[in-house]
Amino acid sequence: MNINLMNGMSLAYMGDAVYEIEVRRYFIEKGNTNVNNLHKLVTKYTSGKSQAYLITQMLNKGILLPDEEEAFRHGRNSHVSSRRKNIDIQTYLLATGFEAVFGYLYFKEKKDRINELINYIFSVGEIPNE
């Protein structure tokens, strides 16, 4: 499969699933077992607003490698026919680009890099309230 030919929305679609699993794994490994609490914790990191905040931090600090930045732009610049509830289009596109990075890394089989980015995300500290 040539991921360079994949559209940004396909990368984001896969990246959404990959990122969600990694965030869930992180909180479960931290000893969280109550499903209601897990949901609240995970949602804080997987919402579109949180993803837009995190990708902005990554870009500002130069965390992404050049190919990852390209995957981000590919996702961010995708033509969208629908959008998430309760966020503006700019935030939605940033979140789509964020997810595209994780989709790109998944298809490139870069599990170590996914883990590095997840570790960075949880080192950022508190995510601003929505």
Say what the pTM is: 0.92
The one catalytic residue among 16, 67, 88, 112: 16
Per-residue DSSP letter, 110 = -
pLDDT score at 103: 97
What is the torsion angle, in degrees rounded to the nearest 10, for the CA atoms of residue 76, residue 81, residue 87 and residue 89? 50
Give 31's pLDDT tier (boundaries 50, 70, 90): very high
CA 22 to each of CA 81, 84, 96, 116, 117: distance values in angstroms, whole numbers, following the listed order: 27, 21, 17, 11, 10
| Residue 118 in tokens | 């997840």
**16 is an active site residue:** yes
Give 79's pLDDT tier (boundaries 50, 70, 90): confident
Give 3's pLDDT tier (boundaries 50, 70, 90): low
> Which residue is associated with the tokens 């837009």?
52
Q: What angle do CA 124, 98, 37 make, to 5 degrees?
A: 55
Architecture of domain 3-123: Orthogonal Bundle (1.10)
